[in-house]
């Protein structure tokens, strides 16, 4: 039904890394099939090293795919574009630029706004992510959570059609993470941008997403898809809803299966990577 109208469509996506040292190809992602509908917030969870970041980088156009097809609005993704913006796991801020300077860096790189326009919009964006008053602070003077807000604001300022988020809150403490989740949902419900959100945190995935996709262990594939039918707007109390816990169990078990070390490999003394 949503087939034709999918925002992002991945069909049998294979991604390989060339390992210079062993002079061999390493398959990180093997046959990912998924679709992101317009305006949907889709979360991907999976065991560490299963290729989530790799897949997201391919969606951003930073790395090429070795097989299958990856299309955004029906067009093959070949390079980064203005229709996508990434919120990185590490904030990746220019240490010599202030908050304001970092927030405008995205649009500056794209060349999509004049500088005065960018600065005016950036001030609004900074307010939206709750950093008002810190416009002239340098990244090293900010807390980890504040740095991630800058990272988020930089992506939002480019006004992308699709937001790509790679464990943006993973490095934050539990309280700050929940606060950021709330704020992300607030911003997302205002803009209704299509979003692909990667996380380790099952609760986070369920809390934020319309659907949660579980990846298999490396090489990553889609293992199962869980429709999250929790009503919106969601506040943090939804995390104790029985339905929420059912989802959590289901996803948790799905990941456990992937983490389980096959018996024969245990005997051979080779831990699963």
Partner 1 sequence: MSIQSWEPAAPTTTLDRPPARERRSVVKPGRFKQYEPVVIGTLSVVIALAAWQIVANARIYSILFVPGPWDVAQAFVKLFQTGDIWLDIGTSGAEIGIGYGMAVVAGLALGLLMGWYTRFQYALDPFVNFFYSTPRIVLIPLFILWFGIEMQPKIAVIFLGALFPIIINTMAGVRNTEAALLRVARSFGAPDALIFRRVVLPGSVPFILTGFRLGVGHALTGVVVGELIAAKHGVGQLIAIAGQTFQTPKMLAGVILIAGTGMLLTTIIQRVENRFQSWRPQIR
Ligand X SMILES: Nc1ncnc2c1ncn2[C@@H]1O[C@H](COP(=O)(O)OP(=O)(O)OP(=O)(O)O)[C@@H](O)[C@H]1O
Applying CB under 6 A, which residues contact ligand X? 17, 19, 26, 28, 46, 48-54, 200, 218
* Residue 230 within binding range of partner 1, rule CB under 8 A: no
Looking at residues 137 to 196 of the shown chain, list those that interact with partner 1 (rule: CB under 8 A): 138-141, 143-144, 158, 170-171, 173-175
* Residue 243 within binding range of partner 1, rule CB under 8 A: no
CA separation for the pair 184, 56 (Å, rounded)? 19
Using alpha carbons only, give the angle 172, 175, 181 rounded to the nearest 5 degrees.
Answer: 75
At how many degrees (to 10) do helices 174-191 and 144-157 cross?
A: 10
CA separation for the pair 24, 77 (Å, rounded)? 25
Q: Which long-range contacts (CB under 8 A, 24 or more apart) does 181-184 make?
A: 181/207, 181/208, 181/236, 182/235, 182/236, 183/129, 183/130, 184/152, 184/208
Binding site partner of 96, from ligand X, Mg ion, partner 1, none, Cβ cut-off 5-8 A by kind: partner 1
Q: Which C-beta is closer to partner 1: that of 12 or that of 250?
A: 250
Looking at residues 24 to 63 of the shown chain, list those that interact with partner 1 (rule: CB under 8 A): 60, 62
Nearest approach in angstroms of CB 218 to ligand X is: 5
Binding site partner of 49, from ligand X, Mg ion, partner 1, none, Cβ cut-off 5-8 A by kind: ligand X
What Å distances lie between residue 202 and 39, 68, 92, 122, 228, CA to CA? 21, 28, 25, 32, 12
Task: List the one residue from 27, 53, 110, 191 that touches Mg ion (CB under 5 A).
Answer: 53
Binding site partner of 81, from Mg ion, ligand X, partner 1, none, Cβ cut-off 5-8 A by kind: partner 1
CA separation for the pair 194, 72 (Å, rounded)? 11
Place of tokens 């018996």: 263
Binding site partner of 21, from Mg ion, ligand X, partner 1, none, Cβ cut-off 5-8 A by kind: none
* Residue 20 within binding range of partner 1, rule CB under 8 A: no
Q: Which residues sit at the interface with Mg ion, rule CB under 5 A? A: 53
């Amino acid at each position: 039904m949503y087939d034709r109208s999918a925002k992002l469509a991945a069909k049998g996506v294979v991604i390989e890394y060339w390992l210079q040292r062993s002079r061999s190809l390493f398959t990180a992602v093997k046959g990912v099939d998924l679709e992101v509908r317009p305006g949907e917030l889709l979360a991907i969870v999976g065991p560490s090293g299963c290729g989530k970041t790799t897949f997201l980088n391919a969606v951003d156009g930073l790395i090429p795919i070795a097989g299958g097809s990856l299309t955004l609005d029906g067009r093959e993704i070949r390079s980064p574009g203005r229709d996508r913006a990434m919120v990185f796991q590490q904030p990746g801020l220019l240490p010599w630029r202030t908050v304001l300077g970092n927030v405008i860096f995205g649009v500056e790189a794209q060349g999509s706004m004049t500088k005065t326009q960018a600065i005016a919009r950036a001030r609004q964006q900074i307010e939206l992510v709750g950093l008002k008053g810190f416009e002239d602070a340098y990244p090293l003077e900010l807390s980890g959570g504040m740095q991630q807000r800058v990272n988020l604001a930089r992506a939002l300022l480019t006004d992308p059609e699709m937001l790509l988020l790679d464990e943006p809150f993973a490095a934050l403490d539990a309280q700050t993470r929940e606060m950021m989740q709330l704020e992300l949902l607030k911003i997302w419900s205002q803009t209704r941008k299509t979003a692909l959100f990667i996380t380790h945190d099952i609760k986070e995935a369920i809390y934020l997403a319309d659907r949660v996709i579980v990846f298999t262990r490396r090489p990553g594939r889609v293992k199962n898809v869980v429709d999250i039918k929790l009503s919106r707007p969601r506040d943090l109390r939804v995390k104790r809803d029985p339905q929420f816990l059912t989802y959590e169990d289901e996803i948790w078990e799905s990941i456990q299966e992937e983490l389980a070390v096959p018996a024969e490999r245990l005997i051979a003394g080779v831990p699963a990577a």
